[in-house]
Chain A
């Protein structure tokens, strides 16, 4: 369903979010009812507080449904594509952080991200290598925050 004017489309976002979050509330409530508590020492068990939150959140969502308040300007398609690339590279960075090791994973992520933020191939590559290598040396060697070496570790 698409409204013709931008205003309606903008406020649609609030409504969509409210509906989605209402279902999250339902899941929380269901989980809490399902929860088996062995025995209770206290009058209020572990269920009450999350249930209370689910009810309060549901009330807020209903208010949003009735009175959505803001227009939302979602980015245009090219920007959305760049955003998707950014999220994908960050997710890959997270997933491969310990497998590839900090220097390699960081250099790869930095290259993609620097390009997305308008760096040239040349400057992005230099940035990427510098952050990967210097980051490892400064944090792992100098400051003793242990970081994975991954591919570069020699004992493999």
Chain B
């Protein structure tokens, strides 16, 4: 198999000393950011992105660092879910349902270790999936013309905004706002300045990093200010630290099933870790809950969502790497990282820059092993991190964000714009706008416009070209379907209704998948 020789090549990239150190550092800080309530993968990746760039890391190393932070966050979210009953990130919402009761019954060690192993298994299954499916998908995508590409991006936006958004109008509006922000500056086709309002600072457009840090670090700080009053008790880890053989074998089938489901869901644009873990949990409950122990501290109820959310996080790399179209906010940020290095994402990436793609895939395997090692013996260290007060954390996040943005262009204007965008992002979040679509729109805007204009140049202005091929037509139909799906979804929800436990836990965290 060709893939395996490429993977070998990838391992030689990922095992280079610098990349190994970055992976370890990323895994560690990712876990810490993941376990801190409020900060999730998208914030972690956003804060690290400008740093990676300012440190002059080569593109494959930067991506390895960001991917390890992402995976670390998915591991870390479960720690606060189990010990605090507060999900550390949106993907760990369902882990609180059985994780916290387990901790209360003195089985915190078992819950933490079995969820670490399921996280490992989920991520491992999904990474194998990437190795198998990525080359196939990218071969297929090579046949895409500009019209198909445009339709594909419309489909990605429609899924993120429509199917699972819960508030399609706001998700779509957010996405259009992101696209509009990206059109500011010089137009590459004609050289005219658009929407710069005469400002020299805006003539190059709004920097991607400024938008990312504004939306995901500054606005997060403003949101955190309102939540300073939490005086929750951390459950002490006592009793057995490791699960026993019987617990492992009884959960194994749940883990594998959840991992496969998570991977499949992760590939879909728009549906991320949050949705995956919710579906995996409800499925596990339906299949295995014979004595009603789910919701009351069943270890399988911890294993299912954790396997699924890690699998889905890894699966979400597939559309980003093979199509150049990210399916989630976090992968959109990573895709933007590539464009900072003047690397055009898309199906050609696998051929032109194999060291980036395969290096990243290999580093997912390595990061996963590192995380398993960190998360079982070193768990005590991480639980202590739960006590970091915001009075130290927030100034630290603010200064690191500023260092990253300043380190790139040394521009005061960028810093001020970043704070203003942060305030704008805060207002949007208070109005219940999901932030994922904004960044997705911002990242996709240029490609969308280029492909639209290229397609219409080919047809000399005839819009029929957008609907000319069967592939394009099916993508348009799919996009229309997912936009109409929320209506059907809502009807179904009204008929069936979620389980009482799930409804309880998800009241505060919207299950819209836009913060994955």
Contacts and interface: CB of A to CB of B under 8 A. Distances in A.
Nearest to B167: A69
B236 interface: no
B200 interface: no
Contacts of A32: 194
Contacts of A35: 192, 194
A139 B51 CA distance: 10
Nearest to A63: B169
A119 interface: yes
**Interface class of chain B by DSSP:** helix
A74 B173 CA distance: 21
Interface string B448-470: 11001100110011000000000
A54 to B, nearest CB: 7
A95 B411 CA distance: 10
Given A42-B456, A57-B180, A90-B422, A146 B190 contact: no
Contact of B390 (A37, A109, A118): A118
A61 B173 contact: yes
A106 B176 CA distance: 35
Interface stretch (B120-128, B360-368, B377-385, B397-405): B397-405
B431 A44 contact: no
Q: Chain A, interface size: which category? A: 35 or more
B190 A45 contact: yes
Interface residues of B, number: 63
Interface string A139-150: 100011111100
B446 to A, nearest CB: 10
A127 B392 contact: yes
B452 A44 contact: yes
A50 B195 contact: yes
Contacts of B389: 117-119
A98 B448 CA distance: 37
A60 B416 contact: no
Interface stretch (B9-17, B218-226, B312-320): B218-226
A69 B197 CA distance: 33
B412 interface: yes
A17 B426 CA distance: 13
A64 B169 contact: yes
B183 A50 contact: yes
Interface of B: 51, 54-56, 167, 169-170, 172-173, 176-177, 179-180, 183, 187, 189-190, 192, 194-195, 197, 218, 221-222, 224-226, 228, 389-392, 394-396, 398-400, 402-403, 406-407, 410, 412, 415-416, 418-420, 422-423, 427, 430-432, 448-449, 452-453, 456-457, 460-461
Given A32-B194, A53-B176, 12 more contacts: A13-B430, A31-B194, A38-B190, A40-B190, A46-B192, A49-B452, A83-B226, A106-B399, A109-B399, A119-B391, A143-B55, A145-B407
Interface of A: 13-14, 17, 21, 28, 31-32, 35-38, 40-46, 49-50, 53-54, 56-57, 60-61, 63-64, 67, 69-70, 72-75, 79, 82-83, 86-87, 90-91, 93-95, 97-98, 102, 106, 109-110, 113-119, 123-124, 127-128, 131-132, 135, 139, 143-148
The 6 A-B pairs with the shortest beta carbon distances in the complex, nearest first, are A119-B391, A43-B461, A94-B415, A110-B395, A60-B173, A46-B187
